[in-house]
Amino acid sequence: MVVPVAFFALFFAWPVVSIVERGLRVDGVWQFGRFGETLSRPEILDVLWFTLWQALASTGLTLLIALPGAYVFARFDFRGKGLLRAVVTVPFVMPTVMVGTAFLALVGRGGLLDELWGVRLDTTVWAILIAHVFFNYAVVVRTVGGLWAQLDPRQEEAARVLGASRWKAWRTVTLPALAPSVAAAALMVFLFTASSFAVVQILGGSTYSTLETEIYRQTVVRFDLTTAAVLTMVQFVAVGVVLAVHARTVRRRETALRMVAPEETARRPRGIGQWALFAAVLLSVALLIVLPLGVLVERSFATSHGYGLDYYRALQTPDPSGTFLVPLLDTIGNSLRYAVVATLIALVIGGLAAAALTRRAGRLVRGFDALLMLPLGVSAVTVGFGFLITLDEPPFDLRASWILVPLAQALVGVPFVVRTMLPVLRAVDERLREAAAVLGASPWRAWREVDLPLVRRALLIAAGFAFAVSLGEFGATVFIARPDSPTLPVAVARLLGRPGELNYGQAMALSTILMVVCAVSLLLLERLRTERTSGEF
Amino acid sequence: MLVLDGATVRFGERAALDAVDLEVADHEIVSVLGPSGSGKSTLLRAVAGLQALDGGRVLLGGADQRGVPVHRRGVGLMFQDHQLFPQRDVDGNVAFGLRMRGAGKAEQAERVAELLDLVGLPGAGRRSVAALSGGEQQRVALARALAPRPRLLMLDEPLGQLDRGLRERLVVELRQLFGRLGTTVLAVTHDQGEAFALADRVVVMRDGRIAQSGAPVEVWSRPASEFVARFLGFDNVVAARVTGPVAETAWGKVPVPDGSPQGERRLLVRPGGVRLVPVDEGPEWTVESRTFRGSHVAVRLRPVDGPPLDAELPLREAPGEGAAVGVEFRAEDVVVLGDDIP
């Protein structure tokens, strides 16, 4: 408990508070009057309104499309399930910069739809919403589906025998059991879409601006730290309210569930209804996820003189313009190294926090639970900038250190670890731990012997999430990555920011490489997972 | 081996354990018997260290266990629903306690095989615990609890979920097994048959206190109070005024054993102590119901005035329903009950 609290105090609270202080305190006097002034500006109100409704719409749309997917992954057994699971996770692993890029290639000017039918969506809000669904599909499938697969179907059967219809049994037995994870998924999607940065930046152009892009613009373009600080505070409060509401609704809903091995619950689809559902899910995955990724790959090969490997070759040579000090290919290695370290940090911190939260109850602990989610909703731009101004003096002179990047990335990884682990940890029957203790296991040993094997699945999922968000983290990393070792998303953003076909092509090529790397590591993770679980019995 | 000295556990206002004193000697098998909510499971949890005491002491082998964590107490506990580790096979479950004590692989394998033999599941080591029947799970749970040679083995409703035939067979097996191994056992159950068959000594609990403690035959033949009598299934309890060898009751004059307490009392008549006589020798009773019980017939008798009386009669002596009979009592089947603990 102490370690996670210290971690958050040092690497989250301090930088954010410092930034706010810098913006709102002039000559030692707090300028709270600036709040009313800033918040009454019509353009700021527009930003706030747009942020809210696009996040709500994105979340609703994502749940609508992804929940059937979660069901299919949890309950159906089919060939290539592991592959498909990896495929739907790829968008989430992709840096948001590249999500924006992929959709630009699909629906933007000169994009696929434009070429075929002259349809362009990049000036409409639909592009943003669809990109958000694309990006968050995996969040729902993984969080909800992971638990769903382990729910004992016999509970539902018991309800059926007691006279409940299929729908009613699902609604009264399965849905309440799933509710915490659905709420957790919805919350994550909401926070992600509300603080969505790169996607809105790329697809929204100058028409649409969210809080996050506005904070970035005020900080970097206008150097108006005061407005940025006010907006950060607004974001802070809004996120706090959302988290409080969420904490209230899920409280006491996480009860001990009967868990079974996921292999036991999956069946081949049966009957027209199930096959239709299965086909619909496959179709939605194909249109929403495979198509944008395919277009991205296609563009990376499409040079001015037909298809070729020109852009890939260009990645191996140092950049002639001197923007990058190293061959762009090196950024892949940088990104992976940072992400691995960030994942380890997130697992340790998040694991400790989740374990502490399982053992204890009470107002304080619940508050901490909610606090852990804050970094997801609070501007990464603020955090990154905050890192620069706070961690540059002893005893934490880390500005020149490589560890700064993984630290910032771990900050967004921890909430995922906690959110994924907690429902499963709480579902572990306390008496199993007691049985282990009576047999001579110390509390730590009991955790290792009882909880860990039961939550290993969740742990792997959590690690996958942490790795993914670390890899894709952009808002904070763009501030603190050193020029000689940029991460891949940073490099892509810089390439996209420069004109020219070669830069665009290189961005696409780099994105494609990362996509393949991610897909392969995800497949390995899937494989590891099934081997381990089947090896137990 | 085990001493409880004024052990007290409170849940809010209610005392789940109320200053309980209890001793369990080496190699003794003690059954704690009581209705649900009487605090018997709390007793086990307090001894295991899963439940902190609000007062009093728990001593194991003479040493106060205050501050000793669960895993260092060296006791075994078999949970009510077994709580086998679902992700481990039978071997993994039975070997768990040995691994926690740092036993070597060879030693573990040997001991696991030995115990699986002992509980009648030889060669079942590689099976998944999910594939076991209830009786088999119970045996694995027992083997798991016994494997690390606990100085005290505690059983929480050990046979609770099994069917009757299996339960009756297992309880005999358990008693023989514990006798052979010399295990010290503290078992908790709500089933009196199970408790009497298993234990050297029975402790009856009520509302967190011990209502009676003694050898099974002693508790059975001399229930200390109306609560214990009724809990053991005796319903023939009536108010009485005891004077010398006779008690005045609503059922007429009832002879009592020599040395019974005198004055206003509650009186128990065991059903076997009721004899039927021709009507003209006493007040008239009516046979209200007649239930065939295999070895005997249970007959419910209704007096002219007063509570009904249960009698156990040999098959050929039992009258039909509605018959009018007279009743006599045997003094050795009459118990003058003590006061219930407040």
User: Does residue B52 sit at the A interface (CB-CB below 8 Å)?
Assistant: no
d(Cα A384, Cα A389) in Å, to the nearest integer? 9
Under 8 Å between Cβ of A300 and A509: yes
Least confident of A281-295, B96-110, B218-232: A281-295
What is the average pLDDT across A310-317?
73
Asked if residue B299 has pLDDT above 80, the reply is yes
pLDDT of residue B8: 93
Look up residue B184 and give its DSSP letter.
-
User: Does residue A536 sit at the B interface (CB-CB below 8 Å)?
Assistant: yes
Interfacial A residues in 207-266 facing B (CB < 8 Å): 259
Stronger pLDDT, B168 or B153, i.e. the higher one: B153
What is the average pLDDT across B249-257?
89
With cut-offs at 50, 70 and 90, classify the pLDDT of residue B318. Answer: confident
With cut-offs at 50, 70 and 90, classify the pLDDT of residue B2. Answer: very high
Stronger pLDDT, B91 or A466, i.e. the higher one: B91
Asked if residue A534 has pLDDT above 50, the reply is no
ipTM over 0.90: no
The 10s digit of each residue's pLDDT in A177-204 is 787 778 878 887 888 888 777 777 777 7
Q: Look at strands B201-206 and B29-33 and give their pairing.
A: parallel
Q: For A439, name the nearest residue in chain B, comparing CA atoms only.
A: B97
Stronger pLDDT, A365 or B203, i.e. the higher one: B203
Minimal Cα–Cα distance from A263 to chain B, Å?
13
DSSP result, A334-374:
HHHHHHHHHHHHHHHHHHHHHHHHHH--SHHHHHHHHHTTH
What is the average pLDDT across A53-57?
88
Residues of chain B with C-beta less than 8 angstroms from the C-beta of A256: none
Q: Is the dihedral of CA A442, A446, A447, A453 positive or negative?
A: positive
What is the average pLDDT across A29-40?
69
List B24's β-bridge partners, or say none. B2
With cut-offs at 50, 70 and 90, classify the pLDDT of residue A30. Answer: low
Look up residue A267 and give its DSSP letter.
B
pLDDT of residue A362: 61
pLDDT of residue A249: 62
Asked if residue B58 has pLDDT above 50, the reply is yes
Closest to A438 (Cβ–Cβ): which among B48, B86, B130? B48
Asked if residue B29 has pLDDT above 90, the reply is yes
A438–B100 CB contact, under 8 Å:
no
Minimal Cα–Cα distance from B132 to chain A, Å?
13
A440–B101 CB contact, under 8 Å:
yes
Q: For B101, name the nearest residue in chain A, comparing CA atoms only.
A: A440
- Written as six digits, the tokens of A184 are 């957790």
> Across all residues in chain B, what is the average pLDDT?
88
Interfacial B residues in 53-82 facing A (CB < 8 Å): 69-77, 79
DSSP result, B119-137:
TT-TT-TTSBGGGS-HHHH
Closest to B79 (Cβ–Cβ): which among A259, A431, A449? A431
What is the average pLDDT across B14-19?
90
pLDDT of residue A531: 42
Highest mean pLDDT among A175-179, A403-407, B237-241: B237-241
Minimal Cα–Cα distance from A516 to chain B, Å?
34
Asked if residue B70 has pLDDT above 80, the reply is yes
Asked if residue A535 has pLDDT above 50, the reply is no
B71–A434 CB contact, under 8 Å:
no
Cα–Cα distances in angstroms (integers) from residue B94 to residues A128, A432, A436, B341, in the given order: 56, 14, 11, 42
Minimal Cα–Cα distance from B97 to chain A, Å?
5
pLDDT of residue A537: 21
B100–A454 CB contact, under 8 Å:
no
Minimal Cα–Cα distance from A255 to chain B, Å?
18
Asked if residue A111 has pLDDT above 70, the reply is no
pLDDT of residue A224: 74
Closest to A146 (Cα-Cα) out of A244, A49, A73, A50: A73
Under 8 Å between Cβ of A90 and A289: yes
Size of interface A-B (CB pairs under 8 A): 71
- Written as six digits, the tokens of B221 are 């033949």
